[in-house]
Amino acid sequence: MMMPDLHITGAQVLRPEGLCDAPLGIAAGQVAAEASGRALHLPGWQVLPGIVDVHGDGFERHLAPRRGAMRDLGAGLMAAEAELAANGITTAYLAQFYSWEGGMRGPEFAAAMLRALDDMRPRVATDLRVQLRVEIHLIDDYTAIEALIAAHDIGYVVFNDHIPHDALARGKRPPRLTGQALKSGRNPEAHLALLQSLHDRREEVPAALNQFAARLSSRNVLLGSHDDATTADRQTARGQGLRVSEFPETAEVAAEATEAGDAIVMGAPNVVRGQSHAGKVSAGFIAREGMCTALASDYHYPAPFQAAMALAPDMGLGAAWALVSSGPAAMLGLRDRGTLASGARADLVAINPETRRPGLTVSGGRITYADHQAAAVLLTA
């Protein structure tokens, strides 16, 4: 249910021009030019634009808390939405694989998850969308993938290549093969045979991918690449119309992408940790150098808030927070959100000064999360 018109007083509000103490009005699901309705007094709190998460697969843990425990995808998605809201995320792109890996990353699960999301989306206030992560060697599936994208109105696709080409080219058994096979529901030998067959068709991929990407671009689908290892990788991806570089592995790749005007997505957990868990370039360094467009939750929904706050002392709150709000919103073409400008969608997160955590989250003018202190203020306003 939409909140009645109200205005927030006593808080510092992050407007496009910076922090200010003026009341923030909310009316009809939008940021209002003038204060109206009842007053919500939050002295000492900070009110910031809602977080736009461009890539997160943390929802997987809610859908399958244990291997094989996937009985009600809708209930799992509802639980994921609650976690998103508690961490100030008002727009979330759920990163769903379409991969040879099988299990929760296989084609059948992708289709089931998308159906479940379509079914439950009207019952939640957080804006839940999909980033489809496509393994590029599934060229025989391109037509089916394109149909899935159209059927579920998916506007963001990232291409991945997780096949262990080096090991397969040497005739070696890839690492973690048995574990991957078990997750996929195949025996190890069948899984190895599948990997080898996909690897053997690698020369067919570039031409097929060029055509596939062109068709998706004609539908105005935003396209990205994942884990660009070299500047040549980024240049190839750009030539295919993939203008988002997700998790570039080196500063050189990020610099080349920035120079070319590509968007760069880095992992917020990398910032929080202070380094990449895989030994790649530091996301904090990329952000501080002005080469980052958006910070993504990746695998941990609390991370965007934590990362922005960790960067704020060096970058300033406005610039740091833009990496989880206006930056990703602009990249995704979501012109109605990402700032608390008058007329924008009423997406906001209010930071409790005692806990220094999100205490109130509002998405599209609807409350999605309130801690006990915010709830008390709401009940007495």
- CATH of residue 170's domain is 3.20.20.140
Same domain, 7 and 109: no
Identify whether the C-beta of residue 264 lies closer than 8 Å to the C-beta of residue 254: yes
Question: Which domain range does residue 198 map to?
Answer: 51-335
Same domain, 258 and 375: no
Identify whether the C-beta of residue 149 lies closer than 8 Å to the C-beta of residue 216: yes
Same domain, 370 and 235: no
Say which DSSP state 197 is in: H
Residue 322: other Cβ atoms inside 10 A: 25
* Closest among 223, 203, 196 to 212, alpha carbons compared: 223
Same domain, 77 and 117: yes
Give the three-state DSSP class for 267: strand
Same domain, 60 and 164: yes
Same domain, 184 and 79: yes
Same domain, 79 and 122: yes
Q: What is the CATH number of the domain that holds 376?
A: 2.30.40.10
Same domain, 42 and 94: no
Same domain, 341 and 216: no
Same domain, 139 and 46: no
**Cα(133)–Cα(94) distance, integer angstroms:** 10
Same domain, 270 and 127: yes
- Number of independent structural domains in the chain: 2
For the four alpha carbons of 48, 52, 53 and 59, in that order, the dihedral sign comes to positive
Q: What are phi and psi of 282, to 5 degrees?
A: -75, 125
Query: Distance between alpha carbon 108 and the CA centroid of its chain, in Å?
Result: 22
pLDDT tens, N- to C-terminus, the chain (381 residues): 778 899 999 999 999 999 999 999 999 999 998 988 999 999 999 999 999 999 999 999 999 866 655 678 999 999 999 999 999 999 999 999 999 998 899 999 999 999 999 999 999 999 999 999 999 999 999 999 999 999 999 999 999 999 999 999 999 999 888 888 888 889 999 999 999 999 999 999 999 999 999 999 999 999 999 999 999 999 999 999 999 999 999 999 999 999 999 999 999 999 999 877 677 899 999 999 999 999 999 999 999 999 999 999 999 999 999 999 999 999 999 999 999 999 999 999 999 999 999 999 999 999 999 999 999 999 987
Same domain, 213 and 162: yes
H or E segment to which residue 20 belongs: strand 18-20
pTM of structure = 0.96
Residue where a domain terminates, one of 335, 350, 367: 335
H or E segment to which residue 331 belongs: helix 326-331
